[in-house]
Amino acid sequence: MPYTDIRGIERSNMSTSQIAVLRQNIHGLSADDYATALRDRLPDAEISVARTPAEEADLLESVPIATGFSLSEAQIERAKHLDLFACVYAGVGHLPLDTFEEHGIAVTNASGVHGPNIAEYVIGAILSHVRGFNRARRQQHNRVWQSYPASELQGSTVTVVGLGAIGTAVVDRLEPFGVDTIGVRYTPEKGGPTDEIYGFDEIHDAFARTDYLVLACPLTDETRELIDSDALLTLPTESVLVNIARGGVVDTDALVSALQANRIGGATLDVTDPEPLPGEHPLWDFDNVSITPHNAGHTPDYYERTAEILAGNVDRYRDGDTDFENRVV
């Protein structure tokens, strides 16, 4: 039977089940992997994978639903029947959201897909500093058998900046370790899973008591270089920074200066500014700094989780419900 879409256009049942999977390769997973995960959940949908720019253009002219990491303004202009764009990234700062809104196209993101994997990365990073695994690795490489001091995570204070899906997952996994947790968020009145909540205007009060600082916030005008020389001066000298947010949340020169002056205990950085980090950059040379190539989000379940979100939203779409999960436009 006919179906009226979210723009009020009457369509056939077949057309409401057409989904275009745009060209993408994320964490070594191909668009075909994503399409397979979608077909498992939506066996009655017509799911097409675009392999070339020409195929993308053709599909975008006809489908009501498309999913990928980006659409340009020109592509949006040509997508006359597009009702929903499901971005496979959690962040949507790279998208022309105003253009989507002007054309009446709903946009969702992949918020939540990174919760388990990045939270595990954070726990591993903290424990690596606590137990001195970096030093152990260096000594093993040099075949040196020498005892060294270590610490305990229990009884320490972990501050998490950003209490979205990732920050919340981090706090949940910290619970068995017997730590005190502080959350920092834009709207502290919303509360959260941490023992205490602070707003950004009280951030130094939180930092002064912090043993491990986890950055899990988006990069915005307010958070850009949030961790500057002043913030690093407030942090205790033994504190450790873990950044899985964006490189720009940290003033890189200030961090280098703090490490050089021994004003901070160490850092684990999955993101840097600049990124990629140049080979000659001084951050590479610190024994108490671990750097990974923006890899904390890697998981073999990435497309399984994004497909789960989109499948639920397709069901809503078919029912005429526009209250999509993770809707940002």
Q: How far apart are CA 24 and CA 245, in angstroms?
A: 22
103 is catalytic: no
Known catalytic residue at 94: no
Catalytic residue status for 294: yes
CA dihedral 203, 207, 209, 215 (to 10 degrees): 110
State the catalytic residue, choosing from 114, 129, 246, 305: 246
| Both structure tokens of 273 | 């500014």
Q: Which residue from 61, 66, 62 is spatially nearest to 34, judged by alpha carbons?
A: 66
Catalytic entry in 46, 275, 308, 325: 275
Say how far apart CA 101 and CA 95 lie, in whole Å.
11
Do 19 and 67 contact (CB within 8 A), yes or no?
Answer: yes
Q: Residue 194 has which token pair?
A: 């941490």
Output the six-digit token pair for 198: 């602070």
231-248 burial, b at 16+ Cβ within 10 Å, e below that, comes to bbebbbeebbbbbbbbbb
**59, 49 in Cβ contact below 8 A?**
no
3-class secondary structure for 157-175?
A: EEEEECCCHHHHHHHHHHH
Q: Which two tokens stand for residue 191?
A: 């509360």
- Please report, to the nearest 10 degrees, the dihedral formed by the alpha carbons of residues 308, 314, 315, 316 taken in order: 110
Query: CA 185, 191, 192, 195: dihedral to nearest 10 degrees?
Result: 100
Active-site annotation holder among 294, 316, 318, 327: 294
Query: For residue 229, what are its two tokens?
Result: 């020389």
Both tokens of 31, joined, read 């668009």
Question: Residues 6 or more apart from 300 whose CB is under 8 A from it?
Answer: 29
| Residues labelled catalytic | 246, 275, 294
